[in-house]
Structure 1
Amino acid sequence: MLHRENRIKKYHTSSAADLIKETMDYYDITQTDLAKRLGVSQKNISDILKRKRFINEVLALRIEKVMGISSELLLSLDSHYKLHMAKQNNEIDKNKHKTNLFLQRYDWVNA
């Protein structure tokens, strides 16, 4: 029921790693097998799945061809994930109105 006091739940922020892992589980494919199909090292796949490394445009296209996952979706997920993490770790955002970095309009300026 819609009610003014109901709170909207925050969405889980996913990365391309989550979708790749889910697809790997569905097809019961190993990191080694996926790495061979994509032409990259198993370490590269491992780092992506652990979010130590993110996919680039070339790898996104390879994944699209091999796994059938949209390259645009993969890049978008990673981009949103990295931005979310940057916001969480950024001290400037926490104090943006308390710093002289935040843009201010001065009274003496006429537009």
Structure 2
Amino acid sequence: MGNLGYGYTPTHPGEVLKDEIKYRGISQTALAKRMGMSYKVLNDILNERRPLTIQTAMMFEAALDVPAYSLINIQTEYNMQMAQSDSKLNKRLAQIRKLAAVM
């Protein structure tokens, strides 16, 4: 399996959520309070400094009616793209493939 290139910058679910709350005119402070989440955690997710977990995706779904599975799919795609651009990981994968080829 080769190294797939996507040709675009990966989208973090925080970017999608940030656009959504801006469109709805909801402040981050109000949303954090509504979700029972600290402002810092919410802000870190929205500014792509923290990954979205299944639990936080479900909290966003409850607060904004954005499907949790869609948010998790975006996070998974983001994680895959980031991993595929990791040169250290790519070197390790190349070594594993080389060893697997002689088995």
TM-score, normalised on structure 2?
A: 0.79
1:35, 1:92 → 2: CA distance? 35
- Give yes or no for contact 2:15–2:47 (8 Å, CA) kept in 1: no
Q: Which runs of 5+ in 2 are unaligned?
A: 1-5
2:18, 2:28 → 1: CA distance? 9
Residues 1:76 and 2:73 are matched in the alignment:
yes
Aligned to 1:5: none
Aligned to 1:34: 31
Q: CA deviation at 1:105?
A: 3.3
2:28, 2:64 → 1: CA distance? 13
Amino acid across the alignment from 1:43: K
Amino acid across the alignment from 2:54: E
1:86, 1:94 → 2: CA distance? 12
* Counterparts in 2 of 1:92 and 1:36: CA distance versus 1, 3 Å: closer
1:43, 1:12 → 2: CA distance? 25
Q: Which runs of 5+ in 1 are unaligned?
A: 1-8, 107-111
TM-score, normalised on structure 1?
A: 0.74
Amino acid across the alignment from 2:83: A
Identity of aligned residues (%): 25
1:90, 1:64 → 2: CA distance? 35
- Describe how 1:89-108 pairs up with structure 2 within 5 A: 89-93=86-90, 96-97=93-94, 99=95, 101-102=96-97, 103-105=100-102
Aligned length: 96
More helix by percentage: 2
